Amino acid sequence: MPSIDKTILGKVARAGGWVLDVDGCIVRTTSAGGAGGVPIAGGVELVRWLKDNGKDIVVCTNASQRTAAHYAAHLRSIGFDIEDQEMMTAATAAAAYIGTRHLDGPVIAIGDDGLIEALRAEGAPLANEDRRPPVAVVVGAADHYSARDINSACLAIADLKAAFYVTVDTPWFHGGFRKAVSSSTAIARAIEGITGVKPTVCGKPSPAIAQVLCERLGRTGRDLVVVGDMASIEVKMAREMGAFGVLVLSGGTTIDDLPSLPAGHQPDVCVEDVGALLRAIREL
């Protein structure tokens, strides 16, 4: 395990805004958003420490199938002190980003209630409720996708030049047990293959969600800490935000991966898990 620079750790501990990943970071699960999972040792305690010390937090998942309130409720049921408004999904980030750009016409939402309700909350008109030509298409996670919706999306992008978004574009989900395919990525890449148009990504580690996170927390740069288990996602996003990146080796990135990480994926602090992070902070 790499040694921890105590000077950097001290700056991390003093930062006022914290973004915590869910799957493989504070929860070990096989389903996105922490569903059916169990807390990783120290996860509940880290959230409590952050709140006790006046930190502003956002618990941020790339899940998009269910609503943020649904995921927050599950985290509360397994011991986490997480309010609905402290939860962000790739769907709520996408809706916030799209809602500032495409209120002039309806959006085709290909996904489940997590995406649809997030768009409604942002005031974005939905294509199945508005007869105007669609101005945007966004793909999120779902168990089932209809051929009719995919056809409508392809036509809107190819013929009407509708903007194209996807919640995430990572091929695999890692929750700390085993990987599973990202359904939204699979569908978006199929649409891209037909239309030749590459979607704008709204989930981690995209500039879109980074912007939404900074706006939500009201902080920027080194007053922010991003904690996650994927060097290519959370640490990369932290680097691009100018924030501190803390990598936990309890999910998608292993200790064997560390030597080959590119410069943009190198963490400021690397620990075994969130429990080890909290112990190190307390030892300061």
User: Is 148 exposed, middle or buried (CB count within 10 Å of its CB: 0-12, 13-18, 19+)?
Assistant: exposed
pLDDT for residue 283 is more than 60: yes
How far apart are alpha carbons 2 and 31 in whole angstroms? 30
Q: Which two tokens stand for residue 37?
A: 């999972």
Average pLDDT over residues 222-231: 97
Residue 190 confidence class, pLDDT cut points 50, 70, 90 = very high
User: Cβ neighbours of residue 172 under 8 Å, at least 6 residues apart?
Assistant: 179, 180, 181, 182, 252
Instruction: List the structure tokens of 75.
Output: 């985290």
Contact between residue 283 and residue 57 where contact means Cβ atoms under 8 Å apart: no
Options 3.30.460.80, 3.40.640.10, 3.40.50.1000, 3.40.50.10130; CATH of 6-89+204-283: 3.40.50.1000
How many other CB atoms are found less than 10 A from the CB of residue 53?
11
Question: What pLDDT, on the 0 to 100 scale, is given for residue 113?
Answer: 96
Residues 60, 167: contact at Cβ < 8 Å? no
Determine how β-strand 172-174 pairs with β-strand 179-181: antiparallel
> How much is the average pLDDT of 166-186?
81
The torsion region of residue 63 among left (phi > 0), alpha (psi -120 to 50) and beta comes to beta
- What local confidence, expressed as pLDDT, does residue 173 receive? 72
pLDDT for 3-51, tens place per residue?
Answer: 899 999 999 999 999 999 999 999 987 666 556 689 999 999 999 999 9
Largest CA distance in the chain: 60
pLDDT value, residue 181: 83
How distant is the alpha carbon of residue 274 from its chain centre? Answer: 18
Neighbours of 156 (CB within 10 A): 23
Tokens representing residue 163 in the block: 């903007």
Among positive and negative, which fits the CA dihedral 218, 221, 222, 224?
positive
Quote the pLDDT of residue 32. 63
The DSSP H or E segment spanning 172 is strand 172-174
Evaluate whether 114 touches 140 at the Cβ level (below 8 Å): yes
Query: How do the domains of the chain map onto residue ranges?
Result: 6-89+204-283, 92-201
Same fold, 6-89+204-283 and 92-201: yes
SS3 212: helix
pLDDT tens by residue, 100-125: 887 789 999 999 999 999 999 999 99
Mean pLDDT, range 44-72, rounded to an integer: 97
Q: Which of 243, 174, 236, 227 is nearest to 201 (CA)?
A: 236
The answer to whether the predicted template modeling score (pTM) of the entire model surpasses 0.85 is yes
Q: How far is CA 226 from CA 57, 126, 140, 194, 268, in A?
A: 10, 33, 23, 36, 10
Mean pLDDT along residues 186-206? 97
At 126, is the pLDDT very low, low, confident or very high (cuts 50, 70, 90)? very high
Q: What is the mean pLDDT of the chain?
A: 93
Does the pLDDT of residue 176 top 60, yes or no?
no
Could you tell me which residue, 252 or 279, shows the higher pLDDT? 279
* 134 vs 25: CA distance, rounded Å: 38
pLDDT at 30: 67
Q: Which CATH superfamily is domain 92-201 in?
A: HAD superfamily/HAD-like (3.40.50.1000)
Please provide the distance, in angstroms rounded to a whole number, between the alpha carbons at the two ends of the chain.
19
